[in-house]
Structure 1
Amino acid sequence: MPVVTISTWTGKTVEQKDKLMKGITKAFKDIGVDPAGLTIIIHDIPRYNWAKGGEQVSKEA
């Protein structure tokens, strides 16, 4: 039972997330994984709670 965890910035639409989950499911199915056993979890993280290179992403231009 694979579990795929995705961390992304808040703001993706339901449609975008659905497309992403369907694409991931297809990729696993293509390598022989039964989609019924696949779990996908998306964590929405506000940009102010995310840093790259020690700088808050929300401060990027």
Structure 2
Amino acid sequence: MGFIDKAKNAAEDAVGKAKEVVGDVTNNDDLKAEGKGDQGVAGVKKVGESVKDVFKK
């Protein structure tokens, strides 16, 4: 994975965290869950990147 893909995944994680916080503050459980979901997707992508990086070496 390239630098751009890693940056996109980090941004997706940050957006997820922001959604979770906003959902928590506004008592919006749907937004909070969506934020957690975004973070989960970003986490899976990060693991995939790590696996690919290991096999590149």
What TM-score do the two structures reach when normalised by structure 1?
A: 0.37
Indicate the structure (1 or 2) with the bigger Cα radius of gyration: 1
Which structure dedicates a bigger proportion of its chain to helix?
A: 2
Q: Which has the higher contact order (CA 8 A, sep 6+)?
A: 1
TM-score by length of 2: 0.39
